[in-house]
Structure 1
Amino acid sequence: MKIQLALDRMGIADAIELTRKVADSIDWIEVGTSLIKEFGIVSVKELKQAFPEKTVVADIKTIDNARYEFEMCFEAGADLATVMGAAPLVTIDACMEVARRYKKKVMIDLLNTSSEQKRVLMKYKDAILCDHVSKDEQEEAGSQNRGTTSGQPFVEPAIQMAAAGGITLESIGTLRATMNPAVAIIGSAITKAENPAEAAAKFKQVCHQEEELV
């Protein structure tokens, strides 16, 4: 299970500094939606330049204008970009086509998608599907841990899955046992920890251990 570090609500320099502290324990770097909205696509470019050996995810959350936005992300150095599962299928098709052309990857965010929409999205075998509990669900609904507002996580064995939203050291074991996603997207449990490097190392210990130890 790879660890994707979600960087949000901070400046680019702070994001780079924090990532340096935890780089040995994380696999992918997510340039969060708020970072891209506040500082633009340069945030993706600077994170990739700082960590060229890491997979960089541009969490652009595309829902329209797919070709322009995905080309912009990949030209800036992103290895993967995100599109909303609730977007029109023509938009997702365009994201997939651009990713193939650039030899990059697509993550489809399942936030606010219906069961029927999820079934339709199964056709995108080359994409990563992200089961996502939103920030507002966590904060406004009073949920502290991933999964407490959305019930059982969406799981599709034939598809590579990611999980995002409120993942903590207390919940990561349960998440692995119930869903075992290929990618665990972790934000404030690392970025807001008193000692981010120590917190990231603990997540790595859980996420990278052998399956029989879970």
Structure 2
Amino acid sequence: MKIQLALDRMEIAEAISLTRKVEDSIDWIEVGTSLIKEFGVVSVKELKQAFPDKTVVADIKTIDNARYEFEMCFEAGADVATVMGVSPLVTIDTCMEVARRYNKKVMIDLLNTSLEQKQALMKYKEAVLCDHVSKDEQEEAGSRNHGTKNGQLFEDPDIQVAAAGGITLDSIGKLRETLNPAVVIIGSAITKADNPAEAAADFKQICHQKEELV
């Protein structure tokens, strides 16, 4: 499993400083939605400039105006950009087309998608499908379960799956059993830890243990 570090609710300089502490243990860097909303795509540009060898994800959460937003993210240096799975399929088709043109990747956020919508999204074999427990679900509803509503949807070996939302060192074992994602998106369990470098290293050890067992 690759580790995607989610950077949210902080300034760009803080995001870069924190990432430097953990960069040896992480694989992808997510410029979070709140970071992009507050500082614009300059946040994507500066993170990519600071970490040119890392995969940078612009969590733009596009739902409309796909061509403009995805071109903007890729021009800023993003390697991956996100689109909401509840978007019209023409929007997702446009994201896929732009990503192919730039030789980049699309992540489709499955937040609040119906079973029917998930099934329709299975055709996007080139995309990463993100099983997402939202911040509000975690904080307001107390929900942290991944993969439980998706049945056999993710059993297609051609589908690359990511998991996001409330992942901790205590929960990652169950996550492997229910979803076994290719990418785990981890935010506060690293960024708000007393020792972010140590926390990231602990996650890396767990993820590599799984690789060794496969």
Q: Please tell me the TM-score bracket, short chain as reference.
A: over 0.9
Q: Which residue of 1 aligns with 2:54?
A: 54
Quote the Cα distance in structure 2 between the aligned partners of 1:129 and 1:152.
Answer: 14
1:193-204 equivalences in 2 (<5 Å): 193-204=193-204
Quote the Cα distance in structure 1 between the aligned partners of 2:175 and 2:149.
Answer: 10
Q: Relative to structure 1, is the Cα distance of residues 202 and 153 closer, same or farther in structure 2, using a 3 angstrom cutoff?
A: farther
Q: Which residue of 2 aligns with 1:147?
A: 145
For normalisation by structure 2, the TM-score amounts to 0.95
1:113-192 equivalences in 2 (<5 Å): 113-143=113-143, 146-147=144-145, 151-152=148-149, 155-158=153-156, 159-192=159-192
Q: Which residue of 1 aligns with 2:87?
A: 87
8 Å Cα contact 2:115-2:150 kept in structure 1? no
Q: How many residues align?
A: 211
8 Å Cα contact 1:162-1:185 kept in structure 2? yes
Q: Which residue of 1 aligns with 2:207?
A: 207
Q: What residue identity is the alignment partner of 1:71?
A: E
Quote the Cα distance in structure 1 between the aligned partners of 2:213 and 2:193.
Answer: 26
Q: Aligned residues: percent identity?
A: 82
Q: Relative to structure 1, is the Cα distance of residues 163 and 173 closer, same or farther in structure 2, using a 3 angstrom cutoff?
A: same
For normalisation by structure 1, the TM-score amounts to 0.95
Q: What is the CA deviation profile of residues 145-201 of structure 1, one whole-angstrom value per residue up to 9, with x for unaligned ones?
A: x317x7455651221000000000000111112211000000000000000000000
Cα RMSD after superposing both structures: 1.5
8 Å Cα contact 2:44-2:58 kept in structure 1? yes
Structure 2 gaps, min length 5:
none
Q: Relative to structure 1, is the Cα distance of residues 62 and 34 closer, same or farther in structure 2, using a 3 angstrom cutoff?
A: same
Q: What residue identity is the alignment partner of 2:101?
A: R
Structure 1 gaps, min length 5:
none
